[in-house]
Homo-oligomer: A and B are copies of this chain.
Amino acid sequence: MVTIYDIAEKANVSAMTVSRVINNTGKISDKTRAKVKRVMEELNYVPNQTARSLVLQQTRILFLLITDITNPFYTTLARGAEDAATKNGFRLLFGNSDESLEKENEYVQTILSARVDGVLVAPAGDPSLPHLEKLRAHKVPFVLMDREVPGIECDVVLGDSKEGGHRLTQLLIDRGHRRIAMINGSSSVSSARLRLQGYREALKLNDLPCADGDVYETSFGPRSDLSGIEAWLDAMPSLPTAIVAGNNVLALEVMSVLRNRGVAVPDEVSLVCFDDLGPYAEFDPFLTVAAQQAYQFGYMGIQMLIERIREKEQPLPWKKIVLPAELIVRRSVKELTSTQ
């Protein structure tokens, strides 16, 4: 590895001078600066951030902890975060807690030991409190987003969940709906609580009832098993004419269940939700696709990489994995009966 000393030696200066050139600090004659720069280019020198972080006690790394990387709300948020970080000379590390307190805790541990300069976090819920307290105890600055956690004072970026819930519900009422149900995230998540509150508020202001069974509380994250939603709908004496979903994921899942039952949206049940669907909102994506095994791409890629790192000394032959795509036929293709 080329170090600052290699440069110094070859340029006939001290390491300190090289350091000054790299960081543009102190006074240096143009001549030495040019000489040092030339040698750096020649040797392909890249400063070692690790060493620098150790002495400077800062990493210039920020961490973004989100709860669902497959949700376009969070990926869009991530792009914003990345832009802001880059613009300010920070790098951004991502973590995905999957709405799990356990994973969140692991990430907090990682964050502490990596000595990142700050954290932008969407907490899994109110029980995230100890994790935030840990960050606070270690003096790691953090900003909450999307969700507040009672018991901790800090900076926070929120959506107006109560108002939003109110307006979504009012919109349905304005369209003539009287029996409106709600599916929502866990009540241990502040945004879910507020959205529910907004919903109830709107119903109340319009003198509409809300049966106990009309509100279903689950998790904001995607589930592999939709039977909970099935059971919720089954338990109702009749389907509501409209449903408010606490987020986009829940809306899609409800839609899936309704579709399997042959219940048409919006003809039989209207549906509204929090959070948009990114690039997938405006379209009717019943696309026929050659589905590539995206997850496998990532998984096997990392496995190969780790193997390569482990066997760094004995260069094995290069490997090439080709994964077949699966053709998924959906209704974006029309059968043409007559030729042309």
Contacting pair B266 A77 (CB below 8 A): no
> Is residue A329 contacting chain B, with contact meaning CB distance below 8 A?
yes
B interface footprint on A195-228 (CB within 8 Å = 1, 0 otherwise): 0000000000000000000000000001000000
Q: Is A176 an interface residue (CB 8 A)?
A: yes
Contact with B along A72-109 (1 / 0, CB 8 A): 11111111111111001011111010000000000001
Find out whether the CB atom of B274 lies under 8 angstroms from the CB atom of A290. yes
A256 interface residue per 8 A CB criterion:
yes
Which chain B positions have C-beta within 8 A of A324?
159-160, 163-164
Expressed in whole angstroms, the Cα–Cα distance for A146 and B142 within the complex equals 36
In the bound complex, how far is the Cα of B176 from the Cα of A168, in angstroms? 45
B171 touching A70, Cβ below 8 Å: no
Check A298 against B81 for contact (C-beta < 8 Å).
yes
Task: Determine if A30 is an interface residue (Cβ-Cβ < 8 Å).
Answer: no
> In the complex the two chains form, what is the Cα distance from A146 to B332 in whole Å?
25
Give A273 to B283 CA distance when docked, in angstroms: 14
Which residue of the partner chain, among B73, B114, B119, B320, contacts A158 with CB atoms under 8 Å? B320
* CB neighbours of A23 from chain B (8 A): none
Residues 206-265 of A contacting B (Cβ, < 8 Å) = 222, 241-242, 248-249, 251-252, 255-256, 259, 265
Give the number of copies in the complex: 2
> Whose C-beta in chain B lies nearest to the C-beta of A255?
B283
Q: How far is the CA of A275 from the CA of B120 in the complex (A)?
A: 31
With an 8 A cutoff between CB atoms, is A12 at the interface? no
**Which residues of A (273-307) have their CB < 8 Å from a CB of B?**
273-306
- A165–B299 alpha-carbon span in the complex (Å): 24
Q: Is A11 an interface residue (CB 8 A)?
A: no
Q: Which residue of B lies closest to A56 (CB)?
A: B50
A29 interface hit (Cβ, 8 Å): no
Q: Chain A, 148-188, contact with B by CB distance < 8 Å: what is the 0/1 string?
A: 00000111111110011101100110011111000000000
Of the stretches A13-21, A31-39, A40-48, A123-131, the one at the interface is A40-48
**Chain B residues within an 8 Å CB radius of A330:** 281-282
Q: Could you tell me if B288 and A80 are in contact, using CB atoms closer than 8 angstroms?
A: no
Contact between chains at A91 and B110 (CB < 8 Å)? yes
Q: Which of chain B's residues have a CB closer than 8 A to the CB of A6?
A: none
User: Given the interface contacts A156-B321, A252-B279, does A287 sit within 8 Å of B271 by beta carbon?
Assistant: yes
* Nearest 3 CB-CB pairings of A with B: A80-B298, A176-B336, A81-B298
